[in-house]
Structure 1
Amino acid sequence: MIKKHQDKHIINDRIKYPKIRLIDVLGTQLGIYSANEAKKIAIDKGLDLVMISDKSEPPVCRIIDYGKYKFNQEKKAKEAKKKQHNASLKEVKMRYKIEEHDYKVRLNQALRFLQSGDKVKVTVIFRGREIQHINLAMGLLTKMSKDLSNFADIQQNPSRDGKNIIMILAPQKKL
């Protein structure tokens, strides 16, 4: 049952230490054995001898089914990767003279983005001479930041960006 592989674990005949601390399948410490004795015990059980840690004296080895162990390690790594969430920047656009219903739709959209862990860029768009109503847009952005104050922190205060005014909200850190 000697396997050839290019993994980070040292198994079976690749273990070159004269004495090792042996742990069985159930996690019980069996004591200190010579590497050859431990290999024989593992082979008799139809399993592999895998070095778990070479930091201690003597190194720790375990008797396990290496294929199953490797499979479970890969499965855990996949699960951890699934649970990671990279925050991205989502955008919500509106005009300064937005109707109440449309405002609530944008508010819910921003809330959904924040709850999924994304940052939200709120943009108020101006056309032509509408830019003279900048105070109305600032009021609208202030209203939105107040409405979302339980879910978001202001990362960037409302500021002018060409013919737009933008504000960036970040999800609140959970305690």
Structure 2
Amino acid sequence: MIKKKFSRGHKRNRIYRPLPQKKEKHRINKKIDAEKVRLVGGGSIENGIYSIQEALQFSRNRELDLVEINPKLNPPVCKILDYKKFLYEQKKRKKQFKAKQVKVNTKEIRFGPQIGDHDGKVKIKSAEKFLMRGDKVKVFVFFKGRSIVYKDQGKIKLLKFAEEIEEYGKVEQMPVMEGKRMYMILAPKKL
């Protein structure tokens, strides 16, 4: 027996497993294992309970698929339709729903309790820009060392900030102290 030498990193006892099969979302045609099914929305076919053979025959006559919509009920609910088209429409609906969802980002603005007027106006301009874009703004006043004794001054700065930006956003959460910083959350005004 000849021993093969392997280069570094090569594993001798590698186990190869087959890739997992993609599981179908719905059972169709002969994969439906119930004896009787409840047909709904079949067009010219009346809604009702039919044997699986009858339902399959109806679907074959129309050259469509018998699709199990709700397998949890007894008997399971099935529909006669074009399965590929059905999947495409579901995917399309899901994509449209996802596109309609609005993602709200939260931007942060920080300053100290003794911020100057000009610096404050720069911070206000950037907050206005964020609010006009539809983002929420979390405004922090951070206290370093002994500046913690100026809590009232920090609260006044935050309230003044909210007053200056009132045209673009409204206060969602009033100033709250958290550790060594005080923060307030502003939400954009809906136009």
- Determine the C-alpha separation between the residues in 1 that align with 2:148 and 2:87: 65
Aligned residues: 163
Alignment of 1:141-156 (within 5 A): 141-147=158-164, 151-154=170-173
Structure 2: tracts of 5 or more residues without a match: 1-21
- Give the equivalent residue in structure 1 for 2:184: 168
The equivalent residue for 1:68 is 85
CA displacement, residues 96-144 of structure 1 (integer Å, 9 cap, x when unaligned): 113375354134135336x44x3x22235789x9x59946544221112
Counterpart contact for 2:37–2:76, Cα < 8 Å:
yes
Which of residues 96, 107, 111 in structure 2 aligns to 1:79? 96
Q: CA deviation at 1:61?
A: 0.8
Match of 1:92 among 89, 99, 109: 109
User: How many Å separate the matches in 1 of 2:138 and 2:31?
Assistant: 56
Q: Percent identity?
A: 29
Q: Which has more radius of gyration?
A: 2
What is the alpha-carbon root mean square deviation over aligned residues?
Answer: 3.7
Gaps of 5+ in 1: none
Matched residue type, 1:168 = M
| Aligned-partner SS, 2:92 | helix
TM-score (norm 1): 0.69
SS in 2 for 1:9: coil
Of Structure 1 and Structure 2, the greater strand share is in 1
